[in-house]
Structure 1
């Protein structure tokens, strides 16, 4: 689900929340009611009795605090090391010489990493200016929110918050953008939500980095906030973790950082905290 976009989507309307319209017969100017998604169903994992032992059964701030303690036990890597790490974490399962680009879903040669047109670079899903952490070792190099993306598409996304609506993004079919927000393709909406919320739990201002938090704004600028929370929660519910996303979580845990994104293992914890 995280590596392919299927179907052509109808004209987007700001505030309309489902991942795909139920019908293509949308009348311009017609007020459509916002749909709601059911909260993610509770799950169990092989890590519940070990890695997540201190978090099981908790909700709200107690759950967030517990998860912060758990996932802060982390090995950090350098920004230069991120290049090679992404070639492993985001490898195309159908072509070992390629990586899958996040917003476009395209498969591109691992060797085309760089800053030129046609290359892929390191996209900070939690925009690095939101908290001003840059690319220094820490939140700026955390693989749980760094993904390969086409240089030009990455530039279009910039440091925008996430929300529904806008105009189609050139080079990233199914993605949309306007002056202050970016909407990724349906197949990775949940991935984006879980990466943003991981960052909000991992970085709480107690390790010389800013206290990162989600909010419901799309005008956060350089403040240590990212939005829009209400939309991210819905994306989490409507696009559950895929096999690609789950494998990526395992690779980061086993081979690089030694920590996990808890919202991939337990997407229901999003609602339990927020």
Structure 2
């Protein structure tokens, strides 16, 4: 037992070392559902210091520098970054801040992932680095106040593949903005942060009221915050694009800058713990009967077992820093089971998907 606890402690310390969470930071987060959300709100409100809108450009020098793709120390902009090749253009910190723009690559500015028009540009929301990111000015303008969504026929596409068009996800048919897959999870966790940090403000009469326009995804409550379709979309993106090393670095730098953290980067499981009731009522957790064992595992393998009614389309295993360790698509199961062998000691994130949903689990291997 002592060896097991020592191992778990070592793994936890390794994980925390990557994200640099202060000891005891989440000790008051002990509940589930919206009570947990309020506990997290109290944690991330305490210590949050509004550094001002103008200070964001300085913050981006450490929070949003490309040390992950081209590794050229340029501004890491989710709306222009090409993760699989050379960027069409890039910006250097401290130069070409907007300003006027007429096309892409004119200048970069500050993009509010939750549009500031909905909260009348009030503080501290306006300058909260956890949801205000550097962005090409023209793409930022094309995104406008549209909610995020998924687009099949784009009316406009950026040079890195971000799109504007009619939403095809779930039952919302308005205009949306779709970023590239690489950053969908990042954006989802930023919006879950916003819904948590500002749960006391989102129902204020001074905010853009729900249904005042098709662009506003607020549902009028301070517990759920977003409409059902938006929760489903963000959860899908959150599970399909797990926390990356880039997000951990950004979270650490944001903490240094303004004194609080994004809990959904440090603890991705909080999303389903808080909004699980919404996801369950929408039949979005269709993989809930899938089991993974042993976990923790004392061998070098895990086994995935599914009921006959579940048709797995993909299984992906990531390391704790987001590297893909294993992937199989449309696997052939024997007796509704499949094993992943030859795993080294460590902490992993497992993502299992069917045609409609994904399930994410934390896996511990203790050989």
TM-score by length of 2: 0.56
Aligned residues: 225
Greater shift, 194-203 or 219-228, is seen at 219-228
For residue 77 of structure 2, the aligned residue among 92, 95, 101 is 101
For residues 136-195 of structure 1, the C-alpha deviation after alignment (integer angstroms, 9 at most, x for no partner) is: 430011000011111110011000011111416443423221152111100000011000
**Alpha-carbon separation, structure 2, partners of 1:209 and 1:80:** 26
For residue 233 of structure 1, the aligned residue among 232, 235, 244 is 235
Pick the structure with greater CA Rg: 2
Partner of 1:164: 150
| Residue 218 (structure 1) shift | 8.7
Partner of 2:114: 126
Decide whether the 8 Å contact of 2:143 with 2:177 is kept in 1.
Answer: yes
Partner of 1:155: 141
Matched ranges for 1:64-213 at <5 A: 64-73=37-46, 74-93=48-67, 94-96=71-73, 98-105=74-81, 106=87, 107-110=90-93, 111-117=95-101, 118-130=106-118, 132-134=119-121, 136-165=122-151, 166-167=153-154, 169-178=156-165, 180-205=175-200
| Residue 114 (structure 1) shift | 1.6
Report SS of the residue matched to 1:149: strand
| Residue 216 (structure 1) shift | 11
For residues 2-48 of structure 1, the C-alpha deviation after alignment (integer angstroms, 9 at most, x for no partner) is: xxxxxxxxxxxxxxxxxxxxxxxxxxxxxxxxxxxxxxxxx955348
**Residue 53 (1) aligns with residue 27 (2):** yes
| Residue 125 (structure 1) shift | 0.4
Residue 49 and residue 79 in structure 1: after superposition, are their counterparts in 2 closer, same or farther (change >3 A)? closer
**Alpha-carbon separation, structure 2, partners of 1:271 and 1:66:** 15
Greater fraction strand: 2
What is the root-mean-square deviation of aligned Cα atoms in Å? 2.9
Report SS of the residue matched to 2:96: coil
- Runs of 5+ unmatched residues, structure 2: 1-10, 82-86, 167-174, 276-367
Decide whether the 8 Å contact of 1:101 with 1:149 is kept in 2.
Answer: yes
Report SS of the residue matched to 2:75: strand
Residue 266 and residue 168 in structure 1: after superposition, are their counterparts in 2 closer, same or farther (change >3 A)? farther
**Alpha-carbon separation, structure 2, partners of 1:260 and 1:148:** 18
**Alpha-carbon separation, structure 1, partners of 2:266 and 2:206:** 23
**Alpha-carbon separation, structure 2, partners of 1:91 and 1:129:** 27
Residue 210 and residue 201 in structure 1: after superposition, are their counterparts in 2 closer, same or farther (change >3 A)? farther
Greater shift, 179-188 or 191-200, is seen at 179-188
| Residue 116 (structure 1) shift | 3.0
Residue 161 and residue 102 in structure 1: after superposition, are their counterparts in 2 closer, same or farther (change >3 A)? same
**Alpha-carbon separation, structure 1, partners of 2:236 and 2:213:** 16
Report SS of the residue matched to 1:122: strand
| Residue 103 (structure 1) shift | 1.8
Report SS of the residue matched to 1:92: coil
Decide whether the 8 Å contact of 1:160 with 1:218 is kept in 2.
Answer: no
